[in-house]
A and B are shown apart, each in its own frame.
Chain A
Amino acid sequence: MPEVMTRKIVTSVEEIFHEGGPRANTPLKRGSVMAVIQNPYAGSYIEDIQPFMEDLKPLGVAMAQKLLAALDVEAAQIEGYGKGSIVGTGGELEHGALWHAPGGYAMRDVLGGSKAIVPSTKKVGAAGVRLDVPVTHVDASYVRSHFDSIEVGLNDSPRADEMAVILVMTTGARIHNRAGGLDAKDIEGKDGLR
């Protein structure tokens, strides 16, 4: 396979101080990184697409490191994460699924071996499309306070022969979380769920 051809990289960080309630002493940070890359399979049906997963691994690691740097926190301070992909209209949804393994494992490695599955979403779309990337707790998927999502998108991406691959991370719970459920301090962190 050819090397991954990256056209754009966008990093975004939100610092949330409040949402009408008490002001947080330390703002919640929510960040995303999106790489817009050439889709080597755009244009026609290709049966064997799995080799590209291997090619995407270094990109996943580089993206996770870049996002951590943009958030300006230690890996241990990341409490929520998610991933997603947007396939340009010359490709197919299955191409977006190639991001699952390289994106997810790269982020878990960079964060030091998180236990929980990385929630994800994907779609086919044209330039300017928005994707709501789901977020859950890094060690226990049932932690209700950390369920969230981060909207990403870029006005000129993805073009028909491109795909956008995305990682997101957060530093904590929703800013005014009070909907109950499993609390982060009560998790066992063994099975990735509770």
Chain B
Amino acid sequence: MSADIRKIATWVEETHREIGQQISPPTRKAVAVAVIKNPFAGSYTEDLTPLMDIGAELGGLLGDKCVAALGITPAQAESYGKAAMVGEGGELEHAAAILHPKLGAPLRVAVEKGAALVPSSKKMGGPGQVLDVPLGHKDAAYVRSHFDGIEVRLNDAPRAGEILVAVAVTDSGRPLPRVGGLTHAEAEGKDGLR
């Protein structure tokens, strides 16, 4: 089963200044969202395999959208994250089926490498609700400058029978990182942690 996509929204946020300091080059975060039909809304279905396959489809599609929106090469991506919000006709497990088994592999192709766990969040919700997508360094989860998040919200989604699926990619960390820890330059990116 491929995803019945009603809409795709892509958002790029650039920070040029913060608290009186110029950010040069600006930090940039992208998030791409697909609003899809939830094939299992309305009643309990035991086997969620079709949603896992949809996850694989969306991991590549939304990862590519983010990279294109940032205008970068896949290798230039520095951090990523994923999240899903299930409309009221579904259940939280539907989000888990999309996000966890298969979404990561094609996303890692879209951003080249991606040794680290893709941080995630999920919730039930309705149109206009906010979904906060966590962000972490793609190759070394302990890189402290890249812990962040980006908010998505669509006024008309997810409807009761829909799921909102989000993938976020950045080409940078926070605007003015200075809380120490492992840095982007120091990361080895072998074990996904450091």
Contacts and interface: CB of A to CB of B under 8 A. Distances in A.
Contact residues of A: prevailing secondary structure: strand
Given A15-B7, A17-B6, A18-B6, A8 B69 contact: no
B172 interface: no
B6 A151 contact: no
Contacts of B5: 17
Contacts of A130: 155
Contacts of B121: none
A9 B151 CA distance: 15
A5 interface: yes
B11 A12 contact: yes
Contact of A11 (B11, B16, B26): B11
A4 B16 CA distance: 12
Contacts of B15: 7-8
B105 interface: no
B188 interface: no
B183 interface: no
A8 B14 contact: yes
B11 A7 contact: no
Contacts of B14: 8-10
Contact of B8 (A5, A15, A20, A153): A15
A153 B151 CA distance: 10
Interface of B: 5-18, 26, 69, 130, 151, 153, 155
Interface of A: 5-20, 27, 70, 130, 151, 153-155
Ranked nearest first, the 5 interchain pairs of A and B with the lowest CB-CB distance are A7-B17, A12-B11, A14-B9, A16-B7, A151-B155
